[in-house]
Amino acid sequence: MMLAGKTAIVTGGSSGIGEAIVRLFASQGANVVIASRNTLEASRVTDHLQANGHNVIAVRTDVSKEDNVREVIEETVRNFGRIDILVNNAAAIMPKYLEDFEEEEWDRIFNVNLKSVFLMIKHSIAELKKTRGTIVNMSSLNGLIGQKMNPVYAATKGGMNAMTKALALDYAPFGVRVNCICPAGVTTPLLEQWILQQDNPAQTVQDLNDMHALGRPSTSEEVAQAALFLASEMSGFVTGVALPVDGGASLGY
């Protein structure tokens, strides 16, 4: 098993990409902590995995609140004694034009998508230095190229990419690797929510298929495989990378 004896925290781990990462990491021998506000969905995931012999717990966490972040770090160390992997996956999206945003909406998207990364790394880095661990930030292709009517989400992901590269330099002397993943379309509840907010959802689905050279969005499990690569020794000499997992979506003309 690739993660035997390791302990991972996955924010937003109760659904979508986060749930797929939790399930894959657990199957590879990791102790996994789900940090999520959605206690019902987190319990669903943990109950199933625990019933199958995996070491998985859930801690109710608002990752934009510093006290909550401190608590999930402390609970992880209390239960498993160490932190080897941090996956910053929690995200929110609000597709509309910039002039239509209210200040509190801007703050909400930045707090969930970017402030959370700052807080989670700030409070886990001491433990990650001890284990020479890894950080995987879940970014987006939007952080590398633009997308219509999604400027604030794109700004948070662009900031995440830049932060990832800077932190890779800061923590390399301690053996801590920091990378991020930049998916395009992924069949998750977040994407489905975005589709329903479009003027023509059916056309949006077709457009999503057409924008990927491989003819479809990725599955959550395919993105989870990339997270496993970056979290494991398979990528032992990889740091500071913003890895597109986009089915060729960034290759269009």
- The catalytic residue positions are 153
The bridge status of strand 56-60 relative to strand 85-88 is unpaired
104 is written with which tokens?
């509190």
Q: Which residue from 149, 96, 116, 125 is spatially nearest to 18, judged by alpha carbons?
A: 116
Are 158 and 137 in contact by the 8 Å Cβ rule? The answer is no
Q: What long-range pairs does 111-118 form, CB within 8 A, spacing at least 24?
A: 111/64, 112/63, 112/64, 113/153, 113/156, 113/157, 113/160, 114/156, 114/159, 114/160, 114/163, 115/64, 116/11, 116/63, 116/64, 116/69, 116/88, 116/90, 117/88, 117/160, 117/163, 118/163
- The torsion angles phi and psi of 149, rounded to 5 degrees, stand at 60, 30
